[in-house]
């Protein structure tokens, strides 16, 4: 069992890094391996809607999105972290996730997902809701915690001073470990739910 951690911050040792490290410590303690991919300081362009991925099985722009896709496919869970930029996720992480989820053709059904956000003062709630949209549309159970998965700070070490935020991240990771194990056990006993996605409705008549 393994979880892929995506650091969408341009600072590889900043607040998101610290929050992901807290989650990884708990997951590792539960016997779940973790791997971190740093994307926040990479040049990641947005999707241009060319749909070449439907022919190629990967994005036409051969960058860190395509490099990460096999890791996502092999993972049982995904945690994505982003700082807050103007009350929203930063542009890099949104471009990355939109292309990853759309282009890779990965079976995400029953992979477990969680997002982690960080800001100095405000904007966490709106950012958190935006990030979680990727999971619900992709058949991925979203991991709960004892609060929204946000931390406050300006530097990485500030996260440790946010006692409730750090506790929230640890609780999320404990819940994620339980959900991954429970889903694995459920699949072995009952199989995956039989869901279909055959209808594509256009609301303009």
Range(s) of the domain holding residue 23: 2-190
Judged on CB neighbours under 10 Å (0-12, 13-18, 19+), 37 is middle
Q: Is residue 29 part of a domain?
A: yes
Arithmetic mean of pLDDT over the chain: 95
Residue 14 reports pLDDT greater than 80: yes
What are the tens digits of pLDDT across the range 39-70? 999 999 999 999 999 999 999 999 999 999 99
The C-alpha atoms of residue 162 and residue 126 are separated, in whole angstroms, by 20
Contact 15, 68 (CB under 8 A): no
What are the tens digits of pLDDT across the range 78-103? 999 999 999 999 999 999 999 999 99
- When pLDDT is cut at 50, 70 and 90, the band that residue 205 belongs to is low
Average pLDDT value for residue range 132-156 = 95
User: What pTM value is reported for the model?
Assistant: 0.94
SS3 category, 86 = coil
Q: Is residue 186 part of a domain?
A: yes
Q: Is residue 199 part of a domain?
A: no
CATH number for the domain including 79? 3.40.50.360
């Amino acid at each position: 069992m393994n979880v892929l951690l995506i650091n969408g911050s341009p600072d590889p040792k900043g607040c998101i890094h610290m929050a992901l490290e807290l989650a990884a410590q708990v997951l590792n303690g539960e016997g779940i391996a973790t791997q971190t991919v740093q994307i926040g300081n990479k040049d990641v362009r947005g999707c241009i809607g060319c749909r070449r991925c439907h022919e190629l099985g990967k994005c036409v722009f051969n960058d860190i999105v395509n490099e990460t896709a096999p890791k996502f496919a092999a993972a049982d869970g995904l945690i994505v972290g982003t700082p807050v930029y103007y009350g929203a996720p930063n542009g890099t992480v949104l471009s990355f996730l939109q292309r990853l989820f759309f282009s890779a053709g990965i079976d995400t059904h029953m992979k477990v997902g969680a997002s982690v956000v960080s800001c100095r003062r405000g904007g966490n709630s709106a950012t958190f809701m935006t990030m979680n949209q990727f999971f619900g549309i992709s058949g991925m159970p979203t991991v709960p915690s004892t609060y929204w998965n946000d931390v406050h700070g300006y530097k990485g070490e500030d996260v440790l001073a946010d006692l409730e935020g750090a506790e929230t991240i640890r609780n999320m990771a404990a819940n994620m470990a339980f959900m991954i194990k429970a889903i694995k056990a459920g699949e072995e006993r009952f199989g995956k739910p039989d869901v279909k996605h055959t209808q594509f409705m256009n609301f303009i008549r």
